[in-house]
Amino acid sequence: MSISATSVTGALRKLVSEPAEQINYWLPLGDEQVYLNEYLGKPISLTYSGEINCIACGRRTNKSFSQGHCYPCFTGKAACDMCILKPELCHYEAGTCREPQWGEEFCFQPHVIYLANTTGPKVGITRKTQLPTRWIDQGAVAALPIFEVSTRHISGQIEVALAEFIADKSRWQQLLKAVPEPVDLLALRDQSLEWSSSIVAEIRSREGNDAVIELSVKPAEFEFPVVEYPEKIKSFNFDKVPRVEGRLQGIKGQYLLLDTGVINIRKFGGYQVQFEA
Q: Are residues 15 and 84 in the same domain?
A: no
Q: Are residues 124 and 190 in the same domain?
A: yes
Q: Are residues 212 and 236 in the same domain?
A: no
Longest dimension (CA), the chain: 59
Nearest C-alpha neighbor of 200 from the set 171, 158, 261: 158
Report DSSP state, residue 12. Answer: B
pLDDT of the residue at 268: 98
User: Which tops the pLDDT comparison, 103 or 51?
Assistant: 51
Amino acid at 7: S
- pLDDT tens by residue, 228-272: 999 899 999 999 999 999 999 999 999 999 999 999 999 999 999
72, part of any domain: no
71, part of any domain: no
Amino acid at 167: A
pLDDT of the residue at 3: 52
CA angle 23, 27, 29 (to 5 degrees): 160
Q: Are residues 238 and 144 in the same domain?
A: no
pLDDT of the residue at 49: 97
Q: Are residues 130 and 213 in the same domain?
A: yes
Rg (alpha carbons) of the chain, rounded to whole number:
20
Rounded to an integer, what distance in angstroms lies between the CA atom of residue 124 and that of residue 58?
31
Find all residues with CB under 8 Å of 107, minimum gap 6, and list them: 87, 90, 92, 151, 152, 153
CA distances from 83 to 77, 79, 93, 152 (A): 12, 9, 10, 10
- pLDDT tens by residue, 110-162: 999 999 999 999 999 999 999 999 999 999 999 999 999 999 999 999 999 99
Q: Tell me the pLDDT band of 6, cut-offs 50, 70 and 90.
A: confident
Q: Are residues 153 and 99 in the same domain?
A: no
Bridge-based pairing state of the strands 121-127 and 111-117: antiparallel
Number of domains making up the chain: 3
Find all residues with CB under 8 Å of 123, minimum gap 6, and list them: 113, 114, 115, 116, 159, 162, 163, 166, 167, 168, 192
Tell whether the model's pLDDT for residue 4 goes beyond 80: no
Q: Which domain holds residue 164?
A: 109-221
58, part of any domain: yes
**Is residue 32 within 8 Å of residue 4, measured between CB atoms?**
no
Dihedral, 90, 97, 152, 77 alpha carbons, nearest 10 = -120
- pLDDT tens by residue, 185-217: 999 999 999 999 999 999 999 999 999 999 999
Q: Are residues 11 and 52 in the same domain?
A: yes
Q: Are residues 131 and 60 in the same domain?
A: no
Q: Are residues 141 and 187 in the same domain?
A: yes
Q: Are residues 43 and 132 in the same domain?
A: no
pTM for this model (two decimals): 0.93
Q: Are residues 23 and 34 in the same domain?
A: yes
Q: Are residues 127 and 211 in the same domain?
A: yes
95, part of any domain: yes
